[in-house]
Chains A and B, each alone.
Chain A
Amino acid sequence: MDLGPHAAFIWGSYGAFVVIVGLLIGWILFDGWRQASALAEADRRGLRRRSAKEGGA
């Protein structure tokens, strides 16, 4: 694919975009996994929220 004399700027833009958005997606997915693990661990240890006793969410 020939992107002309400014190819470096085009690939640089798309590269920076992919890195930033990729890191954002990775961070959010990793954070989701971390919170789900923490919740599962808390459940396993029998921890309950105060609202859980009252049937709340």
Chain B
Amino acid sequence: MKPMQTLTQRLANPTRFMEISRTILPWVAGGAVLFIGYAMYLVFFVSPPDYQQGETVKIMYIHVPSAWLAMMGYSIVAVSSFGLLVFRHPLADVSAKAAAPIGAAFTLCALITGSLWGKPMWGTYWVWDARLTSVLILFFLYLGLIALRSSLEDEALAGKLTAVLALVGVAILPVIKFSVDWWNTLHQPSTGFTSTVDPSMRTPLLLSAVGFTLLFIALHLKGMQNEILRRRVKAMRLAQVEHGDQLFSVRAE
């Protein structure tokens, strides 16, 4: 009887991952387009202005999903890093490498949109409060991970060192999440979406969050496919070089 395999075991084979991801990628990307499209329609044509912030509240519909994906992206990097260091899963390093630039991009979006939201609401683009500063540190952590990996030629070593840094850096996630509760910040506390946000604003916000999460997943899958292809090409070139060396040594004898 064939032993039961977990999903991660079944996906451990890069060829099988490529087949499965090629099948689901168009559906995920299509879902992202539909959700984001409908959310933006609601944002610009249906959702009312806020009684205090006016139309400026429209920035919330991209700022909140960006901030959420900034943290989700780092969680993926951290879990993948754990998978690489502890379980030596063949796709864990591929996943961590692919997620880092996507997470960095959404963190930058959260910082820029937050800054542009802060100016009309708080009177300043930036303050060094705990929430803003911890998200800025998250952005630098992403850049550090990308830079560390790029600086090492040995891919296996680069993967392991990057994974260690990613796991050390995971401490920033609870700091970001609870910074608004632990310290007095200019940034508002967490919002209870099910109770305090009116449905006319909650619905487009949730649709936007789902849409951009699907976009993140689609980009992550595509990024992982790219990385697998890149490693295949590299393996082929290495095999050719080794084959050439063998021919050279045979001729030299």
Residues of chain A lying within 8 A (CB to CB) of residue B15 = 57
Interface bracket on B: 35 or more
Residues of chain B lying within 8 A (CB to CB) of residue A48 = 236, 239
Residues of chain A lying within 8 A (CB to CB) of residue B56 = 4, 6, 9-10
Number of interface residues of A (CB under 8 A): 35
Nearest B residue (CB) for A12: B116
- The smallest beta-carbon distance between B99 and chain A, in angstroms, is 12
- The smallest beta-carbon distance between A46 and chain B, in angstroms, is 9
Residues of chain A lying within 8 A (CB to CB) of residue B240 = 47
- From A4, A14, A47, contact of B54 by CB (8 A): A4
Segment from B59-67, B130-138, B158-166, B170-178 that makes contact with A: B59-67
Residues of chain B lying within 8 A (CB to CB) of residue A29 = 222
- From A2, A16, A31, A42, contact of B236 by CB (8 A): A42
Q: Which 10 A-B residue pairs are closest in the complex by CB-CB distance?
A: A57-B15, A35-B229, A47-B236, A6-B120, A49-B235, A13-B113, A4-B55, A24-B105, A3-B55, A13-B116
Q: Which A residues form the contact surface with B (CB < 8 A)?
A: 1-7, 9-10, 12-14, 16-17, 20-21, 23-25, 27-29, 31-32, 35-36, 38-39, 42, 47-51, 57
Q: Which B residues form the contact surface with A (CB < 8 A)?
A: 13-16, 44, 49, 54-56, 58-59, 62-63, 66, 101-102, 105-106, 108-109, 112-113, 116-117, 119-120, 215, 219, 222-223, 225-226, 229-230, 232-233, 235-237, 239-240, 242
Q: Knowing that A28-B219, A42-B236 touch, tell me 7 more A-B residue pairs with CB under 8 angstroms.
A: A9-B59, A10-B55, A10-B58, A20-B105, A23-B105, A35-B226, A35-B233
